[in-house]
Amino acid sequence: MKLSDFKPDLQGRVKSIAGDVHFAKRITSIGITEGSHFQMVRNDAKMPVLIYCRETLIAVNRDYAEIIEVEAV
Q: Which domain holds residue 29?
A: 3-72
pLDDT value of residue 11: 97
12: left (phi over 0), alpha (psi -120 to 50) or beta: beta
Q: How far apart are CA 15 and CA 44, in angstroms?
A: 22
Domains: count for the chain: 1
pLDDT tens, N- to C-terminus, the chain (73 residues): 999 999 999 999 999 999 899 999 999 999 999 999 999 999 999 999 999 999 999 999 999 999 999 999 9
The pairing of beta strand 68-72 with beta strand 37-42? unpaired
Instruction: Evaluate whether 2 touches 56 at the Cβ level (below 8 Å).
Output: no
For position 51, which CATH number holds?
2.30.30.90
CA pair distance 15, 24, nearest whole angstrom: 13
CA angle 1, 30, 6 (to 5 degrees): 20
Q: Kindly report the pTM of this predicted structure.
A: 0.89
